[in-house]
Structure 1
């Protein structure tokens, strides 16, 4: 698969990699830059209230290590009412803003880290990518998530290879609940708190009409007894903005994409 990915990348002209800070785009960025050099590869990283600060720090750290040409940009999605209204295809508007912003800064071919596993999920961002002529080297090389992680280990990327999936913070907000920066800041704070207290394999702080739900992998959820949950709930309540104050706090098993509500078309 490494040879197939190399063949795809070498067939492209100068390119701009959209780097989120996750394992997929980070692995692609490292390999592309090592293969082709920073005269041919530019990294583009967007910052916004929906991007966890540690993702940005990770991108900056690896840019320094690897000698990337890196541009930090504001994609502008928080100025888009379509995005802020949080429809079921919110990701389409997010990626549309991202790719438009990158195109305004560079005429290079835009690359994404989408892999073949993404084709089995609801991914409206791929529609935005198609509209903007974005290329997906992993898809073209037939590479799935497991192979991305294997490549990351092969490239010596250490902890990046095992980095848990962490979609943007807006993905935690139930469809049609408006996206608000203070809400996203609270979500990030809650997830950090739960990680510090319980060290779950997976955690998501979901904002629902019914209140807050802390989703964890089944093992971690089972290990959190009633007293721990009560203590944690009180601490979580102290992190919430006025818009969420007094909302009930519950605990459930993690479900991928559970904030999506409605017809996915």
Structure 2
């Protein structure tokens, strides 16, 4: 695992469009592609109600520091009824719109490849978005270079990049339980809750899951088990959120703290 390996993969593309969401994987790919290919690497971002604002801001900060431009595209998922229904394969419909837009950008700019930040670990998970990537011939340079998530973080640290240890930040749509329709209001409620709790409590790990008209807040389980004072502080902040939700998000009838704490993928169900 070293930079020249991935650099040689990127150099072999000659030109590419990089799908940059603002997470660690795609940010590192954007940096490496720009360093390897310069202006022949087009860095693209789909701003959307489902993309955390912090991810978009992080991408633009990286662009400023590295000296590359960002091309914004519209993936159109908020106009796709198949995505909005939030089925088991929701990500397939989202990524189909994204890769369609990026393929059009590749044709416009003359880029020969659309590249994603997918890594080896992603291949062992259920990711219908990878089916969409295959449909559009998207390349995965980290996979081609044999890199897993830990390798990507290690490389980002070795390069001194500020985002190396940023926690995972899936799209806001992943917080809405399978089968509960995705709406702008629900996405905004998720973002509002998570941003408020991060700002008030300094939490690195927080999720607002929405199931029907109920929102549940998940935090690091260790905070709930080991420190009664901290738990009380979190519970008070969630109660205050409930008052704010009644004013701003009346479609959410109840909001509470999940006593189990955070668990990955809790909003995903194969049988909604």
Q: TM-score range by the shorter chain?
A: over 0.9
Q: Which residue of 1 aligns with 2:80?
A: 80
The equivalent residue for 1:220 is 223
For each residue in 1:131-159, what CA deviation from the matched residue of structure 2 results, as whole angstroms up to 9, or x when unmatched?
Answer: 0100000111110111101111122212x
C-alpha contact (below 8 Å) 1:201/1:220 kept by paired residues: no
What is the match of residue 10 of structure 1?
11
Tell me the SS of whatever aligns to 2:114: strand
Per the alignment, residue 143 of structure 1 pairs with 147
Q: 1:73 to 1:224 in 2, by over 3 A?
A: farther
Matched, 1:234 2:227: no
Mapped pair 1:184 → 2:187: yes
Listed as ranges, the matches of 1:91-130 within 5 Å are 91-107=91-107, 108=111, 109-130=113-134
Distance 1:239 1:88, change over 3 A: farther
Shift of 1:177: 0.4
With normalisation by structure 2, the TM-score equals 0.90
| Aligned-partner Cα distance in 1 for 2:175–2:187 | 9
State the shift of 1:210 in Å: 7.2
Are 1:16 and 1:43, in contact at CA under 8 Å, matched by a contact in 2? Answer: yes
Equivalent residue number for residue 54 of structure 1:
54
Distance 1:126 1:263, change over 3 A: farther
Structure 2 CA distance for aligned equivalents of residues 224 and 132 of structure 1 = 51
Unaligned runs of 5+ in 2: none
Q: What is the deviation of 1:105?
A: 2.2
Paired residues, what number?
261
**Quick check: 1:199 aligned with 2:202?**
yes
Q: Which runs of 4+ in 1 moved over 4 A?
A: none
The 2-side partners of 1:36 and 1:230 are apart by 49
User: Deviation digits for residues 70-90 of structure 1, max 9, x if unmatched?
Assistant: 201221110000000000110
Task: Give how far 1:195 is off.
Answer: 1.6
Work out which of the residue numbers 121, 130, 133 in structure 1 matches 2:137.
Answer: 133
Task: Tell me the CA shift for residue 234 of structure 1.
Answer: 2.1
Distance 2:37 2:232 in 1: 54
* RMSD over equivalenced CA pairs, Å: 1.7
1:224 CA displacement: 5.5
Report Cα offsets for 1:191-229 as digits up to 9, x if no partner.
112222333341111012472211112112333656434
CA contact (8 A) 2:115 2:140 kept: yes
- Specify the SS of the correspondent of 1:11: helix
Contact 1:191/1:205, CA 8 A, preserved across alignment: yes
Residue 170 of structure 2 is aligned with which of 160, 167, 172? 167
SS at match of 1:215: strand
SS of corresponding position for 1:185? helix
1-structure distance, mates of 2:179, 2:52:
22
